[in-house]
Structure 1
Amino acid sequence: MDASFKIWETNRQLYLKLINNYSLEQLNKIPEGFSNNLVWNLGHIIVAQQGLVYRLSGLPINVSDEMNEKYRNGSKPTGTTTQAELDELKMLLFSLLEQTKEDFAAGKFVTYNEYTTGTGFHLANIKDAIEFNNYHEGLHFGFMMNIRKFI
Structure 2
Amino acid sequence: MDQLLLRQFERSREYLIKVLESVSTEHIDVQPDGFNNTIHWHTGHVLTVTEQTMFAFPQRSTNLPVNYVELFGNGTKPADWKGEIPPMEQLIVQLRDQITRIKEIPAKQLDLVFEKPIIGCQTYGELAGFTVIHEATHIGQIQAMKRVIELESVKN
Please tell me the TM-score bracket, short chain as reference: 0.7 to 0.9
Distance, in Å, in 1 between the alignment partners of 2:107 and 2:93 is 22
Equivalent of 2:106 in 104, 107, 125 = 104
Aligned pairs, how many? 145
Question: Cα distance, 1:72 vs. partner?
Answer: 0.5
- Where structure 1 has 5 or more consecutive residues not aligned to the other structure, the ranges are none
Per the TM alignment, residue 114 of structure 1 is displaced from its structure 2 partner at its CA by 3.5
Question: What corresponds to 2:15 in structure 1?
Answer: 14
- 1-side partners of 2:107 and 2:89: how far apart? 28
Aligned match of 2:35:
34
Q: Percent identity?
A: 20
- Over 3 Å counting, the alpha-carbon distance change for 1:149 and 1:92 in structure 2 is same
Q: Aligned residue for 2:154?
A: none
Does residue 83 of structure 2 align to residue 91 of structure 1?
Answer: no
Match for 1:49: what amino acid?
T
Partner of 1:45: 46
1:88-133 CA distance string (max 9 Å, x none)? 11111121111122133696x967453343xxxx211211111110
- Flag the structure with larger Rg: 2
Partner of 2:126: 128
Using the size of structure 2 for normalisation, the TM-score is 0.79
Structure 1 residue identity aligned to 2:126: D
Superposed CA RMSD: 2.8
Give the unaligned 5+ runs of structure 2.
150-156
How far did residue 11 of structure 1 move? 0.8
Aligned match of 2:56: 55
CA contact (8 A) 1:28 1:39 kept: yes
